[in-house]
């Protein structure tokens, strides 16, 4: 029987468990009266209203460990907020009882919150609904198009003047995250949104803090949950090496290549297979990418981390320089 299934009083009685934030969060404290009582479950085993406040409205996406819903914050709405919508990420039923999974969700929250950047999704709160015993994150509700959907609409890729408005902020954001000691771990088109309020990087679910950053986060065994995306994860990750800034650079380089050409650089194959089949020999500069940026992107796409000698900031500078070089040319013409 998992610890979360034990009677709530037992949780409070055990000092060891009370010291463990994951368990502690689930203990049914003397809850203040909710603004609104939870109503009966209607979305799977979830109630309509979580924590007496968040009314689940629509499923936005479901992934490996959880699901994301659009919800209305009834408390804010009650006080007249004209836009009470939030997004709510909650563990799926299967993982809800695993303290490790809750701690991973908390880690996602803590990593996201560490980043205060216009182009990173804003995390609001980490909470637990004590009735259904589920942990969840609330965050800004983004309205827009993820890059994978954009690619469906633009199968030939984007011309540089459109591309640079995505690629440069994306690289700025990644370079900022790396400076803050936050590694994303899952750079891919479906984790970047072109929202009404600009580009947003989100889903730090596979993210990690660099050593020394956020030392209070519990040390988590991620093996059971690790689910790198094979087509975007660097080969060393698929071979069990720890996440690094360089692995993020590989992922973002795949995204940039794909946006520029409409095609994944290595036919979406797992990077280890692409490496073993020497697919780098077939790589061609996407025509939408200015020639001057190609060397840098090619370096970022190196299978061998020892040859991937470029940071997110350097890749940004290389592509940004290209942009201003072109702008100067245009101005002269």
Ligand X SMILES: Nc1ncnc2c1ncn2[C@@H]1O[C@H](COP(=O)(O)OP(=O)(O)O)[C@@H](O)[C@H]1O
Query: What residues numbered 143-182 form the site for ligand X, per CB under 6 A?
Result: 146
Contacts of 16 (CB under 8 A, 6+ apart): none
- Is residue 119 a contact point for ligand X (CB under 6 A)? no
Query: Mask of contacts with Mg ion, 188-227, x by CB under 5 A?
Result: ---x-----------x------------------------
Burial of 220 (C-beta count, 10 Å sphere; 0-12/13-18/19+): middle
Query: What residues numbered 198-217 form the site for ligand X, per CB under 6 A?
Result: 202-203, 205
Q: To the nearest whole angstrom, how small is the minimum distance from the Cβ of residue 225 to Mg ion? A: 14
Query: What residues numbered 121-140 form the site for ligand X, per CB under 6 A?
Result: 121, 139-140
The annotation places the binding site for ATP at 89
Query: What residues numbered 63-92 form the site for ligand X, per CB under 6 A?
Result: 63-64, 68, 87, 89
Nearer to ligand X, 60 or 279 (CB): 60
Nearer to ligand X, 178 or 200 (CB): 200
Residue 61 touches which of Mg ion, ligand X, none (CB < 5 to 8 A by kind)? ligand X
Q: To the nearest whole angstrom, how small is the minimum distance from the Cβ of residue 143 to ligand X? A: 7
Q: To the nearest whole angstrom, how small is the minimum distance from the Cβ of residue 150 to ligand X? A: 12
């Amino acid at each position: 029987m998992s610890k979360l299934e034990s009677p709530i009083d037992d949780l409070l009685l055990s000092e060891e468990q009370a010291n463990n934030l994951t368990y502690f969060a689930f203990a049914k404290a003397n809850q203040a009266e909710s603004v609104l009582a939870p109503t009966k479950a209607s979305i799977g085993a979830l109630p309509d209203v979580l924590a007496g406040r968040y009314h689940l409205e629509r499923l936005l996406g479901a992934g490996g460990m959880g699901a994301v819903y659009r919800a209305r914050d009834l408390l804010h709405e009650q006080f007249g907020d004209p836009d009470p919508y939030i997004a709510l990420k909650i563990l799926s039923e299967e993982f809800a009882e695993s303290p490790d999974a809750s701690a991973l969700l908390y880690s996602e929250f803590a990593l996201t919150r560490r980043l205060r950047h216009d182009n990173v999704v804003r995390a609001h709160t980490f909470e637990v609904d004590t009735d259904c015993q589920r942990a969840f994150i609330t965050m800004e509700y983004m309205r827009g198009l993820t890059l994978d959907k954009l690619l469906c609409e633009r199968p030939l890729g984007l011309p540089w003047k459109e591309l640079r408005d995505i690629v440069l902020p994306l690289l700025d954001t990644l370079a900022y995250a790396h400076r803050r000691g936050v590694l994303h771990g899952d750079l891919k088109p479906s984790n970047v949104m072109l929202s009404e309020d600009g580009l947003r990087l989100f889903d730090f679910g596979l993210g990690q803090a660099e050593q020394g950053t956020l030392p209070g986060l519990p040390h988590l065994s991620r093996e059971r949950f690790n689910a790198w995306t094979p087509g975007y994860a660097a080969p060393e990750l698929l071979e069990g090496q720890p996440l690094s800034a360089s692995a993020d650079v590989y992922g973002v380089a795949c995204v940039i290549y794909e946006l520029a050409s409409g095609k994944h650089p290595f036919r979406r194959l797992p990077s280890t297979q692409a490496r073993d089949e020497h697919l780098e020999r077939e790589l061609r500069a996407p025509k939408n990418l200015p020639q001057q940026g190609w060397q840098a992107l090619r370096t970022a796409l190196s299978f061998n981390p020892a040859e991937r000698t470029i940071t997110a900031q350097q890749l940004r500078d290389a592509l940004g320089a290209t942009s201003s070089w072109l702008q100067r040319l245009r101005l002269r013409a």
